[in-house]
Amino acid sequence: MYLAKIYVTYKPSILDPQGEVIKSALHRLNYKNVESVMQGKYFEIKLDAENLITAKQEVEAFSDELLINVNMETFTYELSEIAVVGD
């Protein structure tokens, strides 16, 4: 079993309105030290692939196909093998 941790963020050229709103809210709450806020999405996906290479291919394929908006977003991921107790 593999665990993929996938981080989806806006591409650098894309405006992140949610991040700006959160930054303003933090400043109002007196966290004046905050310089920038970027909000993205985070996925933890478990998959039962044959090996690391297949797992990698699947993660890259379905992230592009379903998880991100390829025009505006980009993603990075970490993939690790996990033990399933009782298998």
Q: Which residues pair with 73 in a beta bridge?
A: 10
CB atoms within 10 A of CB 55: 21
From the list 12, 15, 53, 65, which residue makes contact with a second copy (rule: CB under 8 A)?
65
Reduce the DSSP state of residue 15 to 3 states and report it.
coil
- State yes or no: residue 8 binds a second copy (CB under 8 A): yes
- State yes or no: residue 38 binds a second copy (CB under 8 A): yes
Q: How far is the CB of 55 from a second copy (least distance, A)?
A: 8
Q: How far is the CB of 36 from a second copy (least distance, A)?
A: 5
Reduce the DSSP state of residue 55 to 3 states and report it.
helix
Q: What is d(CA 85, CA 53) in angstroms, rounded to the nearest whole number?
A: 23
Q: Which residues bind a second copy (CB under 8 A)?
A: 1, 7-9, 19, 22, 25-26, 29, 31, 33-49, 58, 61-62, 65-67
